[in-house]
A and B are shown apart, each in its own frame.
Chain A
Amino acid sequence: EAGVTQSPTHLIKTRGQQATLRCSPISGHTSVYWYQQALGLGLQFLLWYDEGEERNRGNFPPRFSGRQFPNYSSELNVNALELEDSALYLCASSLAIGQGYGYTFGSGTRLTVV
């Protein structure tokens, strides 16, 4: 069974540009979660999508947005990039119900803003 896949692995952008990060969940998982892991700040919850809908949003500005496609894959967009957006962005997937399953994480996208 394929795990959660994220692309690209690394991304280098210039301040002010836009970044698009992609995530494919495990087959059968309908929920996708995005986290930001900046140096020294732990896991910061960004967004939760399920069945194409945004279910919950963390404390991030609107320039962080995303969507979930009919095949349950997801995209995270970061507009007007700032230097402090440099971080590891982690995607996770789970079954929407039965939270006892926990999350399965991808390996992340390392975003560097210069």
Chain B
Amino acid sequence: AQSVTQLGSHVSVSEGALVLLRCNYSSSVPPYLFWYVQYPNQGLQLLLKYTSAATLVKGINGFEAEFKKSETSFHLTKPSAHMSDAAEYFCAVSGDTGFQKLVFGTGTRLLVSP
């Protein structure tokens, strides 16, 4: 079975500062890992995904995430926050075997101040 823990329901940064959103996973099989972003009153948009290739994954809008098996983590980072990055971010995990659905974390709301 898979699960995801997102530390911090809210993260506040200043414009231009580093963004770090934390995600730890649990999986009984090698995982696939995803980050999604949700802007107000919209659906979720895929930011990036890890599917057992390179451990450092680059996504859209300057975001990237690093898969660290030893730490069971998949934290999302961006070197310099923009006001437009303010949104809710969801981490998700799925196994690479069988017929499994994605399991989502509870989300982290990113607030960006000028």
Contacts and interface: CB of A to CB of B under 8 A. Distances in A.
Interface string B77-114: 00000000000001010111001111011110000000
A76 interface: no
Contact of B44 (A45, A55, A96, A105): A105
B45 A105 contact: yes
A60 to B, nearest CB: 15
Contacts of B99: 55, 96-97
Q: How large is the interface on A (under 10, 10 to 19, 20 to 34, 35 or more residues)?
A: 20 to 34
- Most chain B beta carbons < 10 A, residue from A48, A55, A100: A100
Contacts, number: 60
A65 interface: no
A48 B100 CA distance: 10
Nearest to A50: B99
B91 to A, nearest CB: 11
A42 B104 contact: yes
Nearest to A88: B41
A33 interface: yes
Interface of A: 4, 33, 42-43, 45, 48, 55-56, 88, 90, 92, 96-97, 99-100, 102-108, 110
